[in-house]
Every structure is written in C-alpha cells, then in structure tokens.
Amino acid sequence: MDLEGPIGDIRRQLAAALAKASSDQENEDLRVQLLGRKGVLTGLLRGLKDLPANERGAAGQALNALKEEVEAKLAAARAGLRDRERMERLQREWVDITLDAGRRPTGNLHPSSRIQYEIEDVFTSMGFEVLDGPHVETEFFNFEALNIPADHPARDMQDTFYLEDGNLLRTHTSPIQVRGMQRLSPPFKIIGPGRVFRCERIDASHEATFHQLEGMMVDRDIKVAHLIYFMKELLRRVFRRDVEVRLRPGYFPFVEPGFELDVRCLICGGKGCSVCKGAGWVEVLPCGMVHPNVLRHGRVDPAQFSGFAFGLGLDRLVQMKYGIDDIRHIHGADLRFLGQFR
C-alpha cells in the first residue's frame, strides 16, 4: 500500500487549516476531520487490517507517527490560540493603576485597626504572643470558665446576644485567655484582640459592637507590681507621652483583687465632657490578678502559678488618642471621617 500520497495530503491539509484557524472551535473541527470516528487518518488506520501481513508493520508505524504529529501540532495550535486570546484580553482590560494617582482617593487603616496594631507591636516587643478566638462562643468559655456560673449576678452586667442554638456572641475577649491557657503551658504572656458584642444603649461612649484587647501573664510569683509596670508602659507607648492614671478597686469575677485603671480625659483635660460623662476620668483598663478558679479552668495549677489579666477598650483608646468626642463616628463608616487617618 502506497501511503506517501495520503500522508502528504493530510500534512498539507493540516498546515493549510492551522494557518487559517482563529478559534478553538475551528481547531476542534480540524481534529474531527482528521482524527474523529470518520476522520481521514482514522480511516487509513482502520484499513491496515486489509493489507498483506508483510506490509502492515511499516504502514502502521508510518500512520501512528503521523497521528502523533497531527495531535502534537493541534495541541500546539490550541496553546497558541489561548495565549493570543489571553494577550488580547489583557490589552482590552488593561488599566493604568497610576493614572490620576494624585487625585484618586486611596484607602487607609481604620483608626481602631491602627491602634490595635500599635498595641500588638508594644506587647510583642515585650514577649507577648497574639492569639485569636471565635466571635460565637459557648457559655463555658464566655462565662463559666471565667468564674461566672449560670446563677451568678455578674451575668447581668453584660447584656448578651444569645443565639437559637444556645451559643452567644462573645461579650468580651476574655474567652481567648481561657483557650490560650488550655493550649499553652506556663510561663506565658498572651494578648487577644477582637470585636465583641453587647446589647448596649448607644451613646457618645457606648456601642453595641466594639473592640477590645485582653491580656494575661502567668508565671511563678506574679505580683500586682508586674501588672502596674506593664500597664503604665503600654499607655506611655500608645499615647507617646506620660498620662495621668488612677487605680481604684473594681469588681470583676475573673480577677481577685480587681482594679479599674482610669485615664485623665484627654478630650477635656479633666474638666468634664460627654466622653468622660463630666467626671474628668475615662475608664480604659479593667485589670487584676487572675482568680484561682479561672486558672483551674485553664488547666493551670494556682498553687504553683499566678498571673495578672487586663482588658482594653480599643475604641476608647482611639477616642482618647485622636480626640474623637463620639464613638459613633468610629463605627459610622463615613469616608469623610475615616479619610482623616491616612
């Protein structure tokens, strides 16, 4: 069987068709014409059975080599078409991102995010680890592990959003501390920033959703002096100046003793305003020594270890640092307001 003529015809047909093909569909039509069930090359391959035995080997090798050649050229043509389409699309959709850069508004960090990152930098520089936790919590981590059992009146201090499945939106970031204690072995220093949720009456200094940052240090022989040092160092670095503070007794079920650390209002200088509610002081930092029951829930032996814990209202710090007289500006998503923090 003389295959030179048919093989030459197929090669010429292939070359001519590929030169004109401008789409995947045309490429596919060519493949069907040559290699489909009724294709030219397929017909030649089926005809091998009719050849004399002494001719089948050479003819089969020639046709299979041609089939591989056709498949390779079709694949290369498909790849070339797709590369060309991709480049054409890039040309059509190309945008000069530097165009009018001076007049185009640019994004910036939210002030709450900015101060969160600043505080994280402060604490990581002092050896603290940054942890995270879920917004939807169980009663165990949000209350019971923090020494607030179901019948404890302290639950009334936190107006809680409960979910239908019995879980709740966390009312503070303290559950991050419990999860951290269960995962880490003393000694350790951790902080846990995040969003929290409470059914608050919204005013100049309260929101239903706001940001906190909890911290804890657990080691042997931790004292109140350690707590005071770290809190003063934090506030000095955040405000980049010495601020006037006061420490007074405060009740929190998860610490004993507990303290309220207040800052002299930086909005009014202590004269009285809507942020400090006329008192001249703003509560920013509840703190205290970790209650033994909380250590036990965190799988830490209170006979061997002690620790301090604290909680920051990040949005309150934003108000103090940038002189914002109403917390609703922070959560209002007004680009005119947020653009001031570029």
Which one of 63, 93, 123 terminates a domain? 93
Q: Examine residue 104 and state whether it is found in any structural domain, yes or no.
A: no
pLDDT at res. 304: 94
Same domain, 70 and 180: no
Determine the length of the chain: 342
Backbone angles phi, psi at 124, to 5 degrees: -65, -30
pLDDT at res. 205: 66
Q: How far apart are CA 277 and CA 311, in angstroms?
A: 21
* Identity of residue 287: C
Tens-of-pLDDT digits for all 342 residues of the chain? 556 677 777 777 777 777 777 777 877 777 777 778 777 777 777 777 777 777 767 777 777 777 787 788 788 888 888 888 888 888 888 877 776 655 666 678 888 888 899 899 999 999 999 999 999 999 999 999 998 888 877 677 678 888 999 899 999 999 999 999 999 999 999 999 999 998 877 777 677 888 999 999 999 999 999 998 898 888 888 878 777 888 889 888 899 999 998 888 877 888 888 778 888 888 878 899 999 999 999 999 999 999 999 998 888 888 878 888 888 888 888 888 888 887
pLDDT at res. 270: 83
Neighbours of 188 (CB within 10 A): 20
Q: Examine residue 236 and state whether it is found in any structural domain, yes or no.
A: yes
Tokens of 203: 């005013």
Which residue(s) pair with 309 in the sheet?
216, 288
In this structure, what is the dihedral angle of CA atoms 214, 216, 244, 257, given to the nearest 10 degrees?
110
Which one of 60, 93, 126 terminates a domain? 93
Same domain, 41 and 190: no
Q: Examine residue 131 and state whether it is found in any structural domain, yes or no.
A: yes
Tokens of 290: 């970790």
Give residue 180's domain range: 111-341
